Chain A
Amino acid sequence: MAKTLFQKVWEAHTVRKLPNGQTQLFIGTHLIHEVTSPQAFGMLRDLGLKVKYPQRTFATVDHIVPTNELKEPYSDPIAQEMIEALRKNTKDYGIRFFDTTTGTQGIVHMVGPEQGITQPGTTIACGDSHTATHGAFGAIAFGIGTTQVRDVLATQTLALSPLKVRRIEVNGKLAPGVYAKDVILHIIRVLGVNGGIGFAYEYAGTTFDGFSLEERMTVCNMSIEGGARCGYVNPDQKTFDYIKGKPFAPKAADWDAAVARWASFASDAGCRYDDVKVFKAEDIRPTVTWGITPGQAIFIDEKMPALETLNAADRQTAEDAYAHMKLAPNTPIKGTKVDVCFLGSCTNGRISDLREVAKYLKGRKVSPSVKAIVVPGSQLTAIQAVHEGLDKIYIEAGFEWRGAGCSMCLAMNPDKLVGDQLCASSSNRNFKGRQGSQTGRTVLMSPLMVAAAAITGQVTDAREVFKV
């Protein structure tokens, strides 16, 4: 019988059926960070349990790392306490920690792929909702709560129920200036922020075939913003090429067998999906959010929705959004004044993002009214970018060049909005208060759109600012 990748991976990792009808699923790869793991280690100690497969858990530190302080102790004692707790826990239990001192630290969803830990046909769990990022490699990857982090540490398994699978096909070629970020913002806009509840999203079609692994990661990353706990792309030659030679990739003698195995996990032709949605790449234009959920998005050249056009529930959220964002219905978002520009995060803080923007940034200057920061998602990305001289281009243009971490994606480190500042951001969430100020405002967009906003001081169409 023809099967989806989801079904095949699920079956290969099924341990047994639990008395409550759920599946005990083996988690091949477990990633942890400093925010959602300390309580789990605490529970483990309380129960007198050990870490069952310490070699299958990998740790990094990302959320609390200050991006402009390289030395410890950090000026925030709580951040210092959290990094030290992780050091102690990983040492006590023999878990590999990509610490800040190793040159390999970074946002957890960047470290896995960079190290070759993220592989096709595997199950990956992490106490972080953006774990679906790893699905770009054809893994079944999803976010879990802290008690579940305990479960994985203690047993390397979870109690789960299978998801339905929705195939989301995008076909054709994106127009210049339109990026993977626009694709996912558009998908969420159309299918809704809760449209994916109960589903794994399989992203497919010729647009995805043409995407690099980094572009696929950008899309899979935001599956959760569409309500889907997990999203993936079937593995292909590009996937295998990306993994080859990475530190944790299979070695030469095992390589061919690994590739054959990985390829066998791809969804079979003629398999049954619970739902299929089809999009045309040429219908997608640069997309920005105007509200307080990622689904409140429009093309840059559209007007924000008039309240009368919305149904009752959407209207209530929209009214709340307009009040918070200090924006008016039925007006263009283009031209809205921007105070801060943030280029980074696990959605768009990769080397390809930094390269793409740098290509256009040469010789341009950030508007004097704007504070612009660029934060490579990982130390390896930062090292590579410096090697290519990208840091100079950004600094020359007036961006602050920072160390690796989550930075302004969320308010757990010193990078925060102040008051009602409006931030053009390449991150993934525009929730109220997400960027550290209760009244702060976030407009999500692609990296090049962030750069265009930095230069003009406004939410603007990058295609008009740069020769794309």
Chain B
Amino acid sequence: MSLAQITQVKALALAVPGDDIDTDRIIPARFLRCVTFDGLGEHAFRDERTGPDGKERPHPMNSAQAARIAAAKQGVMVVGFNFGCGSSREHAPQSLWRFGFTAFVGGSFAEIFFGNSTTLGVPCLTLSKVDLAECDAFVRANPDVEVTVDVVQLTVSAGAKTWKADIAASARDGLVKGKWDPIADLLEGADAVAKTAGGLAYVAGK
């Protein structure tokens, strides 16, 4: 399986502020009633974007900027802390990715969300609290300036600004080498897997 090497994402950015944004908000549970991920993109943040009366609410995902990102199928979402907490549903990063987001920059990410995004080839980089606030402000003030998420240099930059970023070493390695989907490596280990399995009594049915 050959995958793209994801070293850099350069795209327009959208700030979606707030801490502890959970996966029920990113993709409400009723949209999980499906057997494929197709069509999830349009429902990202559905209940934040549309009120109970069916009318649009003020939300960054309803902005012209979001529409540009959706059209380009490329974009950086700038979020807060503990983004993607809650359920393990891969539907959450899938919906944002299908909407058009190809990188996330935030204070911290919930672990399962982080893993699910990485396996999609979508880097999640973290910034310090101070830098994140600056990046967030910059993105809002300069919607036309592309943001560069550099997975090799571990930086996020825009205009004249550059912020020092971080990502788990294993995720960085996978993205940069085009091995963000681990399946090929896992399949290669079949003999070693059989050996481990053989040593486990409960797997052998005891």
**Are B170 and A161 closer than 8 Å at their CB atoms?**
yes
Chain A residues with Cβ under 8 A from B35's Cβ? 38-39, 42, 81-82, 85
* Inter-chain contacts of A144 with B (CB < 8 A): 88, 112, 115
Known A145-B116, A316-B18; contact A154-B186, beta-carbon cutoff 8 A = yes
A122 to B25, CA, bound (A): 33
A459 touches B (CB below 8 Å): no
- A129-B86, A129-B87, A193-B20 given as contacts; is B47 within 8 A of A159 (CB)? no
Interfacial chain B residues near A26, Cβ < 8 Å: 193, 196-197, 200, 203
Query: Does any Cβ of A come within 8 Å of B98's Cβ?
Result: no
Are the CB atoms of A127 and B88 closer together than 8 Å?
A: yes
Query: Inside 8 A of B86's CB, which chain A residues have their CB?
Result: 129, 224, 429, 431
Q: Which of A410-433 contact B (CB under 8 A)?
A: 410-412, 419, 429, 431-433
Give which listed residue, A20, A21, A82, contacts B33 with CB less than 8 A. Answer: A82
The CA of A433 and the CA of B35, in the complex, are separated in Å by 22
Find out whether the CB atom of B20 lies under 8 angstroms from the CB atom of A317.
yes
Give the complex CA separation of A18 and B147 in angstroms. Answer: 32
Judging by beta carbons under 8 Å apart, are B81 and A151 in contact?
no
Which residues 8-62 in B have Cβ within 8 Å of A in the complex? 18-20, 22, 24-25, 28-30, 32-37, 47, 51-52
Mask of B62-88 contacts with A, CB within 8 angstroms, 1/0: 000000000000000000111001111
Q: B161 on the interface (CB 8 Å rule)?
A: no
Per-residue contact bits, chain A 29-45, to B (CB 8 Å; 1 contact, 0 not): 10000011011001000
Asked if residues B30 and A257 are in contact (CB atoms below 8 Å), the reply is: no
B141 CB–A CB distance under 8 Å: no
Name the B residues within 8 Å of A55 (CB-CB).
Answer: 205
Give min CB distance, B131 to chain A, whole Å: 16
What per-residue 1/0 map shows which CB atoms of A267-297 lie under 8 Å from chain B? 0000000000000000000000000010000
- Asked if B168 is at the interface of the complex by the 8 Å CB criterion, the answer is yes
Chain A positions within 8 Å of B36 at CB level: 38-39, 42
Q: In whole Å, how far is B151's beta carbon from the nearest beta carbon of chain A?
A: 13
CB of A171 within 8 A of chain B?
no
| Complex Cα–Cα for A90 and B111 (A) | 29
A68 within 8 A of B: no
Asked if B30 and A411 sit within 8 Å, CB to CB, the answer is yes
Q: When each residue 148-184 of chain A gets 1 if its CB lies under 8 Å from chain B and 0 otherwise, what string results?
A: 1011001111110100000000000000000000000
B108 at the interface (CB under 8 A from A): yes
Closest A residue to B180 by beta carbon equals A20
Within B165-206, the residues touching A (CB, 8 Å) are 168-170, 173-174, 177, 179, 181-183, 185-187, 189-190, 192-193, 195-197, 199-203, 205-206
Is B110 engaged at the interface, CB distance under 8 Å to the other chain? yes
Contacts of A56 in B (CB 8 A): 203
B24 closest partner in A (C-beta) = A431
Contact B206 A254, beta carbon cutoff 8 Å? yes
**Chain A positions within 8 Å of B52 at CB level:** 419, 437-439
Q: Is B140 an interface residue (CB 8 A)?
A: no
Partner of B115, one of A35, A148, A157, A410: A148
Check A198 for interface membership: any CB of B closer than 8 A.
yes
Tell me, in angstroms, the Cα distance from A313 to B80 when the chains sit together.
Answer: 10
Partner of A250, one of B22, B187, B206: B206
Write out the residue numbers on chain B whose beta carbons fall within 8 Å of the beta carbon of A158. 182, 186
| A interface residues, tally (CB under 8 Å) | 85
Closest A-chain residue to B197, C-beta based? A26
Q: Which of A13, A16, A147, A193 contacts B90 (CB 8 A)?
A: A147
* Cβ of A322 to closest chain B Cβ, rounded Å: 15
Docked CA distance A145–B29 (Å): 15
B164: CB under 8 A from chain A? no
A147 touches B185 (CB 8 A): no
Closest partner residue, chain B, to A230 (CB atom): B111
Would B18 and A320 count as touching, CB distance under 8 A?
yes
Closest to A435 in B: B29
Q: Does B148 lie at the interface of the complex (its beta carbon under 8 Å from any beta carbon of A)? A: no
Asked if B37 and A39 make an inter-chain contact with CB atoms under 8 angstroms apart, the answer reads yes
| Contact, CB under 8 Å: A258 / B206 | yes
Inter-chain contact B88/A13, CB cutoff 8 Å = no
A434 within 8 A of B: yes
Q: Counting chain A CB atoms within 10 Å of each CB, which of B32, B196, B202 scores highest?
A: B202
The verdict on A310 contacting chain B, using a C-beta distance below 8 Å, is: no
Q: B33 — which chain A residues lie within 8 A by C-beta?
A: 64, 76, 78-79, 82, 412
Tell yes or no: B102 within 8 A of A by CB.
Answer: no
B22→A12 contact, CB < 8 A: no
**Closest chain B residue to A296, Cβ basis:** B20
Q: Which of A38, A56, A145, A227 has the most CB of B within 10 A?
A: A145
Encode contact with B along A101-124: 1 for CB under 8 Å, 0 otherwise.
000000000000000000101100
B112 touches A145 (CB 8 A): yes
Q: A38-B36, A431-B86 are in contact. Are A19 and B179 (CB under 8 A)?
A: yes
Can you spell out 6 A-B residue pairs with CB atoms less than 8 angstroms apart?
A: A24-B185, A129-B112, A145-B115, A258-B202, A313-B80, A429-B22
Known A143-B88, A194-B82; further 15 A-B contacts with Cβ < 8 A: A12-B200, A20-B182, A35-B89, A128-B87, A131-B88, A144-B115, A148-B115, A151-B186, A157-B189, A227-B82, A261-B201, A412-B30, A412-B33, A431-B25, A436-B30
Q: Which residues of B contact A (CB under 8 A)?
A: 18-20, 22, 24-25, 28-30, 32-37, 47, 51-52, 80-82, 85-91, 93, 108, 110-112, 115-116, 119-120, 168-170, 173-174, 177, 179, 181-183, 185-187, 189-190, 192-193, 195-197, 199-203, 205-206
